[in-house]
Structure 1
Amino acid sequence: MPVLPELEAFLELAEFGRLTGKSRPMHEQTPQQARLDFEAASGFLDVPLTTITCENFTIPARDGHSLAARLYRNGQAVDGLQPVMLYFHGGGYVVGSLDSHDALCRRLAAQGGFALLTVDYRLAPEWKFPTPVHDACDAGNWLVREGAAHGLDANRTALAGDSVGATLATVLSLIAVRQPEDLRLNPKAQLLVYPVTDATTHRASHRDFAEGYLLETPTLDWFYAHYARTPADLADWRCSPLLAEDLSGLSPALVYLAGHDPLHDEGLAYAERLRAAGNDMTLLEQPGMTHDFLRMAGLLGEVAGIHDEAARWVRSKI
């Protein structure tokens, strides 16, 4: 299936920017420049809803660092503690922030049935693997320890994320089962939108959609080079969960993929392994879309339905 016409027009505009010298691929920039461009581009994808309540605070990491966090609610009255989606933003461990995903988090929270908590885990190259994994675990443990004081029910939590944020959600789901001493949170579900599951290998989709489809294969390699301390880190299951020996006994998963995405094939391979291991796994695909479609509600009318679909699935599990 070809790229959706509205999305194709956006991709052509991005390519025109390159041809005219107004923009450069992320992998040709410094991390600092790429972060500025990513934040600026995020504003073109959607407009934040103003009807959602938002609370900013910090969560302590294990090394004493303070992690910025943000809690979203749709403002409807709730009896007792509220189920929660613990959401991790994408950005290749190098770019992305609470602000870059603010519009998306507001739209998911607006679906109702849960609050949404998101945390600004630390980024590479200043903070390399496994710091983001540790930060994500610390956020999960904070939710168990302090969530009730914020009206959150840690016993009814879904882990969620897009791109490497989805990778963090997969990894925490594994840690909860394999290393419960490291993560006291017991998630009821995992929402994984175009996750990175194997940073060690290029598959057919890496070649077929290497350039011109928003996320590019050279950019992925650039991300991984900044994130890993050594090549061995990329083969660690906490970076490449597809390489984990045992995927059995995990919480129900919704894996959502884009057809025109270099990450498509590794996401599909992970979904197939989840199913083969006996897990409750739902696979959904958007064949006419690219990576990052979840943040494109301001560009694509179809995205509102995707948000509704994902939220309904989460509500059914928590």
Structure 2
Amino acid sequence: MSLHPDLSAFLELAELGRLTGKSQPMHTLPPALARTEFDATSQILDPNPPGNVQVCVLQLPTRDGAEIDARLYRSAASAGKQLPVIVYFHGGGYVVGSLDSHDSVCRRLALSGDFAVLAPAYRLAPEFPFPTAVEDAQDSLEALAEHAQVWQLDRQRVVLAGDSAGATLATVLAAMAATAPAQLALQPLAQVLFYPVADISQVRASHTRFGEGYLLESATLEWFYQHYASDPAQRLDVRASPLLGAAVAQVPAYVALAGYDPLYDEGLAYAHWLETAGTRVTLSVETGLTHDFLRMGGIVAQVDEVYARLQTWLASL
């Protein structure tokens, strides 16, 4: 399938901006500036996210004595009800991304009122390299387990979710739940993975096929990984490259991939890896879209269908 026409037009504008010097590839920027520019894209990709959602600002403690910001989303119609919860980890290659960059995603996930959404702002590299993001994700579940009653959340019905590097955090926690449950404060009900980073130890064919011109570039991926896991040995750690782990059955997984994405091959391999281990996997491939499509509700109408299919799957749990 060819690239979605609305997305194709957007990418042409982005390329024009680069040619005229108005924008630069992310991997040529210092991390602080890259974060600012990445957050600003939300106003372009989804400028009018759902407003009928309540948002509570939280601080979650971490094992080293720090606190990380978090947001708890729930639809206004569900106020006062105990809800199952999606713990959502934002994407951004462990270097960029924030609660602001993925605010529209969390609002859309919470809008139906079937689930609340807890979004932790795990700390970013290079200031906080591997494995800080994983440990912050674990500590977020500790906080959820402790405060679930106060936050009116059902700790027995927790879905781990994320996109890109955030999806990696979700599936790493799901794997821990299967192999070392004592490391987690609660056991997840399911995992939802949008275009996950599954293996940072090698280059695959899709890295070349879609390496430039499709929003996420292969050079940017390497820039992310250099900041996050500068020691080559860290790239072989299953907490950074879960595809390298031992195949074990995990909680049910919803895996959504983009057809024009350098991460496509490893995402597909990971879905098959889960299936081989006995995990129940629902695979959805958005053949005409690129990486980061979950944030594109304002420019590609098809994204509404993506959320609708996910809600149907969640309702079946």
**Which TM-score band (shorter chain)?**
over 0.9
Alpha-carbon distance, 1:149 to partner: 1.0
Aligned-pair Cα RMSD in Å: 1.1
Task: Say if 2:87 and 2:117, in contact at 8 Å, map to a contact too.
Answer: yes
- Once residues 8 and 112 of structure 2 are traced to their aligned partners in structure 1, the CA distance between those partners, rounded to angstroms, is 28
SS in 1 for 2:148: helix
Residue aligning to 1:45: 45
Moved more, 26-35 or 74-83: 74-83
Residue aligning to 2:12: 12
Alpha-carbon distance, 1:81 to partner: 2.3
TM-score normalised over the length of structure 1: 0.97
SS in 2 for 1:135: helix
Residue aligning to 2:223: 222
Task: Say if 1:191 and 1:314, in contact at 8 Å, map to a contact too.
Answer: no
Runs of at least 4 residues off by over 6 Å? none
SS in 2 for 1:67: strand
Identity, % of aligned positions? 53
- Counterparts of 1:22-41 in structure 2 under 5 Å? 22-41=22-41
Aligned partner letter, 1:199: I
Residue aligning to 1:311: 311
- Counterparts of 1:107-122 in structure 2 under 5 Å? 107-122=108-123
Task: Say if 1:84 and 1:153, in contact at 8 Å, map to a contact too.
Answer: yes
Residue aligning to 1:238: 239
CA deviations over 1:51-71 (Å, ceiling 9, x no partner) = 111000100011111110100
CA deviations over 1:148-180 (Å, ceiling 9, x no partner) = 111001110100000000000000001112122
Residue aligning to 1:276: 276
SS in 2 for 1:181: helix
Aligned partner letter, 2:302: E
CA deviations over 1:88-137 (Å, ceiling 9, x no partner) = 00000000000000011101110221101000000000000000000000
Moved more, 38-47 or 73-82: 73-82
Task: Say if 2:78 and 2:113, in contact at 8 Å, map to a contact too.
Answer: no
Residue aligning to 1:257: 257
Task: Say if 1:190 and 1:254, in contact at 8 Å, map to a contact too.
Answer: yes
- Once residues 101 and 163 of structure 2 are traced to their aligned partners in structure 1, the CA distance between those partners, rounded to angstroms, is 12
Task: Say if 2:80 and 2:152, in contact at 8 Å, map to a contact too.
Answer: no
Alpha-carbon distance, 1:23 to partner: 0.5
- Once residues 51 and 31 of structure 1 are traced to their aligned partners in structure 2, the CA distance between those partners, rounded to angstroms, is 33
Aligned residues: 316
TM-score normalised over the length of structure 2: 0.98
- Counterparts of 1:52-71 in structure 2 under 5 Å? 52-71=53-72
Task: Say if 1:163 and 1:193, in contact at 8 Å, map to a contact too.
Answer: yes
SS in 1 for 2:145: helix
- Once residues 282 and 169 of structure 1 are traced to their aligned partners in structure 2, the CA distance between those partners, rounded to angstroms, is 16
- Counterparts of 1:37-186 in structure 2 under 5 Å? 37-46=37-46, 47-77=48-78, 81-186=82-187
Task: Say if 2:168 and 2:242, in contact at 8 Å, map to a contact too.
Answer: yes
For structure 2, the residue ranges without an aligned partner over 5 or more in a row are: none
CA deviations over 1:219-259 (Å, ceiling 9, x no partner) = 0000000001411111100000000013x221000100000
Alpha-carbon distance, 1:196 to partner: 0.2
Residue aligning to 2:299: 299
- Once residues 137 and 3 of structure 2 are traced to their aligned partners in structure 1, the CA distance between those partners, rounded to angstroms, is 34
Aligned partner letter, 2:12: E
For structure 1, the residue ranges without an aligned partner over 5 or more in a row are: none
CA deviations over 1:253-273 (Å, ceiling 9, x no partner) = 010000000000000000001
Alpha-carbon distance, 1:204 to partner: 0.9
Aligned partner letter, 1:48: P
- Once residues 276 and 149 of structure 2 are traced to their aligned partners in structure 1, the CA distance between those partners, rounded to angstroms, is 36
Alpha-carbon distance, 1:77 to partner: 3.7
Alpha-carbon distance, 1:300 to partner: 0.6
- Once residues 315 and 67 of structure 1 are traced to their aligned partners in structure 2, the CA distance between those partners, rounded to angstroms, is 30
SS in 1 for 2:182: coil
Residue aligning to 1:194: 195
CA deviations over 1:188-242 (Å, ceiling 9, x no partner) = 1100000000001111100000000000000000000000141111110000000
Alpha-carbon distance, 1:79 to partner: 7.4
SS in 1 for 2:258: strand
The answer to whether 1:210 aligns with 2:211 is yes
